[in-house]
Amino acid sequence: MATLGSSQLRVGRASVTEVPAIKPARRFSIPSRVGFRVQASESQQEPDLSVCVNGLKMPNPFVIGSGPPGTNYTVMKRAFDEGWGAVIAKTVSLDASQVINVTPRYARLRAGVNGSAKGQIIGWENIELISDRPLETMLKEFKQLKVEYPDRILIASIMEEYDKAAWEELIDRVEETGIDAIEINFSCPHGMPERKMGAAMGQDCGLLEEVCGWINAKATVPVWAKMTPNITDITEPARVALRSGCEGVSAINTIMSVMGINLDTLRPEPCVEGYSTPGGYSSKAVHPIALAKVMNIAKMMKSEFSEKEYSLSGIGGVETGGDAAEFILLGANTVQVCTGVMMHGYGLVKDLCKELKDFMKKHGFSSIEDFRGVSLDYFTTHTDLVRRQKEAIELRKAIRKGLQSDKDWTGDGFVKESESMVSN
Ligand SMILES: Cc1cc2nc3c(=O)[nH]c(=O)nc-3n(C[C@H](O)[C@H](O)[C@H](O)COP(=O)(O)O)c2cc1C
């Protein structure tokens, strides 16, 4: 297993000395302004959304999550033009000829009575595989994008079988294009596990440790490991990935799901020639689950990995700046969006930036680091909640205004004593 020491840490494609590192002490510290509402004034400077993650400088923390929004040159170029902080391309493997997609491959869940066609889309299931485009084509497009957008962050998402030589070849080939970092898809829940890829690796910590060791011995750019939520304790694979040399973890990929059964045809959705297969669930409905997983990983990282610059990318159901702020408040450095782009288009990033800035102005935060991780310390155990509540009730009783008993009324203070027990 090849674990990098902090002096060997891969920082973008530059050396550690070239790029100022984020001070580790700032990472999860609680800024003194927390809890104060600061009135935005005319003279207040615009909040700074830029982030520097594992040495990768981004204009904002909003990253296109691997999937259809990063599937070819045209759409990735569009993402850069609209202002996304970084783009993670659709996952590639060495041999795309083995990747055969079906249609329909999506099914949606709407809010409202019986999934009314007018209800808001809250859940999205897909049975889409990784990229079915030839690797050579994708690599050519990565290269072209890096020539046209040298200062923007392009991240390759990769997946392979349990084969050291295949991983090494794939890493070599994507790195040759000039991409800035690699995200490892250890998390696709459908299709690929049949070939022992994706979630099949991410759910097996022994396998994950070995494969991460191969990857990190080879890669020269930062590596993020993308976690599957389809596991009892997501902190276990996250810990293994970081201990095995990955610079960051991303969470979550989609949640294994069955969207529903058509009550007329009695067939499951999405229905391909009368049959279906469980797929991956995303969009608004997964946001609370993603927050819980990111919170668990962030707590683990805070207690076990504090001295090195590790990063965390929050993913799942982001459609507003507020959704993104929640991930950052839990410790995420960046926030990925996939289904949100499929529903609202690439221009969504402008709303996300505006809404995140509005949130920051409301609280007087001038940078992302000002509030990253500050809500993490407000999570505790249920036993501790009970203790805190008992103490608080006792304290409230002790300072309760008004008379404790009728025997306490006095003649002189009668009016004041009456007022002390009025509620309005
Ligand atoms: C249609 C579709 C295809 C996806 N393909 C990939 C993929 O190729 N690689 C990957 O790592 N994640 C893939 N994902 C997962 C997303 O990147 C993301 O982790 C997940 O959808 C949750 O985020 P969201 O609610 O913003 O979509 C895909 C998601 C969807 C909806």
Residues 35 and 70: their CA atoms lie apart, in Å, by 38
Question: Residue 44 above 90 pLDDT?
Answer: no
Let me know if residue 311 belongs to a domain: yes
Quote the domain boundaries for residue 412: 382-419
Residue 61: its pLDDT value, please? 98
Residue 307 — very low, low, confident or very high, per pLDDT cuts 50/70/90?
A: low
Cβ contact 387:380 at 8 Å: no
Q: What is the pLDDT of residue 418?
A: 85
pLDDT at 401: 66
Please write the tens of the pLDDT for every residue from 252-269. Answer: 999 999 999 999 999 999
Q: Which helix (H) or strand (E) holds 243?
A: helix 235-243
pLDDT value of position 108: 95
Which region among 68-72, 254-258, 418-422 has the lowest average model confidence (pLDDT)?
418-422
Ligand 1: does its nearest atom lie under 6 Å from the Cβ of 339? yes
Say which of 188, 246, 338, 353 is annotated catalytic. 188
Return the closest-CA partner of residue 343 out of 83, 180, 124: 124
Beta bridge partners of 260: 269
Give the total number of structural domains in the chain.
2
pLDDT tens digit sequence for 194-223? 788 889 899 999 999 999 999 999 999 999
Among 24, 26, 5, 8, which residue's Cα sits nearest to residue 16? 8
Task: Name the most confidently modeled range: 20-29, 144-153, 391-400.
Answer: 144-153
Taking a C-beta distance cutoff of 8 angstroms, is the pair 269, 262 a contact?
yes
SS3 117: coil
Does residue 191 line the site of ligand 1, with CB under 6 A? Answer: no
Q: Half-sphere exposure (CA, 13 Å, Cβ side) for 134?
A: 3
pLDDT at position 224 over 90:
yes
Instruction: From 362, 344, 368, 330, select the one nearest 251 (Cα to Cα).
Output: 330
**Does 60 lie in the same domain as 146?**
yes
Residue 70, pLDDT > 70, answer yes
Assess if residue 424 is contained within a domain: no
CA dihedral over 81, 294, 125, 353, signed as positive or negative: negative
Q: Does residue 27 carry a pLDDT above 60?
A: no
283 Cα: distance to centroid of ligand 1 (angstroms)? 9
Is-catalytic flag, 52?
Answer: no
Name the DSSP letter for residue 272: B
Region of 67 (left: φ > 0; alpha: ψ -120 to 50; beta: rest) is: left
Rounded to the nearest 5 degrees, what angle is found at the Cα of 87, between the Cα atoms of 317 and 284? Answer: 5
In this prediction, residue 4 carries a pLDDT of 38
Same domain, 164 and 48: yes
**Are residues 31 and 58 both part of a single domain?**
yes
Burial class (CB in 10 A: 0-12, 13-18, 19+), 229: buried
d(CA 70, CA 53): 20
| pLDDT of 13 higher than 50 | no
Cβ atoms of 212 and 164 closer than 8 Å = no
How confident is the model at residue 3, as a pLDDT?
Answer: 37
Q: How far is the CA of 357 from the centre of ligand 1 (A)?
A: 26
> What's the pLDDT score for residue 408?
85
**What is the mean pLDDT of the segment spanning 108-128?**
86
Q: What is the pLDDT of residue 31?
A: 34
- Are both 367 and 389 inside the same structural domain? no
Q: Which two tokens stand for residue 207?
A: 């396998």
Backbone φ and ψ of 35, nearest 5°:
100, -20
For residues 153 and 175, state if they share a domain: yes
% of the chain surpassing 90 pLDDT = 76
- DSSP tag of 11: B
Shared domain check, 387 and 374: no
- Structure tokens of 33? 């302004």
187 Cα–ligand 1 center, Å: 10
Whether the CB-CB separation of 299 and 376 falls below 8 Å is answered with yes
For strand 279-282 and strand 121-126, is the pairing parallel, antiparallel, or unpaired? Answer: antiparallel
Q: Are residues 78 and 213 in the same domain?
A: yes
Burial of 13 (0-12, 13-18, 19+ CB in 10 A): middle
264 shares a domain with 398: no
The preferred substitution site among 253, 319, 320 for testing ligand 1, maximizing ligand atoms within 8 Å of CB, is 253
For the CA atoms of 224, 226, 232, 234, what is the dihedral angle to 10 degrees? Answer: 30
Tell me if 66 CB under 6 Å of ligand 1: yes
Label residue 416 by pLDDT band (50, 70, 90): confident
Kindly state if the Cβ of 126 falls inside 6 Å of ligand 1.
Answer: yes
Q: What is the pTM of this model?
A: 0.87
Average pLDDT of 360-385?
Answer: 97
Chain-wide mean pLDDT for the chain? 89
- Judge whether 1 lies within some domain: no
User: How many Å lie between the centroid of ligand 1 and the Cα of residue 351?
Assistant: 21
Which uninterrupted H or E stretch holds 212?
A: helix 205-218
340 & 397 share domain: no
Q: Following DSSP, what letter does each residue of 16-66 receive, concatenated?
A: TTTSPPPPGGGTT---TTTT------TTPPPPB--EEETTEEESSSEEEPS
Q: Are residues 148 and 297 in the same domain?
A: yes
**Structure confidence at residue 5 (pLDDT):** 39
CA nearest to 208, candidates 174, 243, 180: 243
65 CB under 6 A from ligand 1?
Answer: yes
Q: Is 93 in the pocket of ligand 1 (CB under 6 A)?
A: no
Q: DSSP character for 97?
A: G
Instruction: Answer for the pair 2, 245: CB distance below 8 angstroms, yes or no.
Output: yes
Share of the chain above pLDDT 70, in %: 87
Flag whether 189 is in a domain: yes
CATH number at residue 335: 3.20.20.70
Question: 81 alpha carbon to ligand 1 midpoint, in Å?
Answer: 21
Per-residue pLDDT of 136-193, as tens digits, reads 999 999 999 999 999 999 999 999 999 999 999 999 999 999 999 999 999 888 877 7
Q: Is residue 74 part of a domain?
A: yes
At residue 12, the pLDDT reads 55
Residues 121 and 160 in one domain: yes
Judgement on whether residues 218 and 278 belong to the same structural domain of the protein: yes
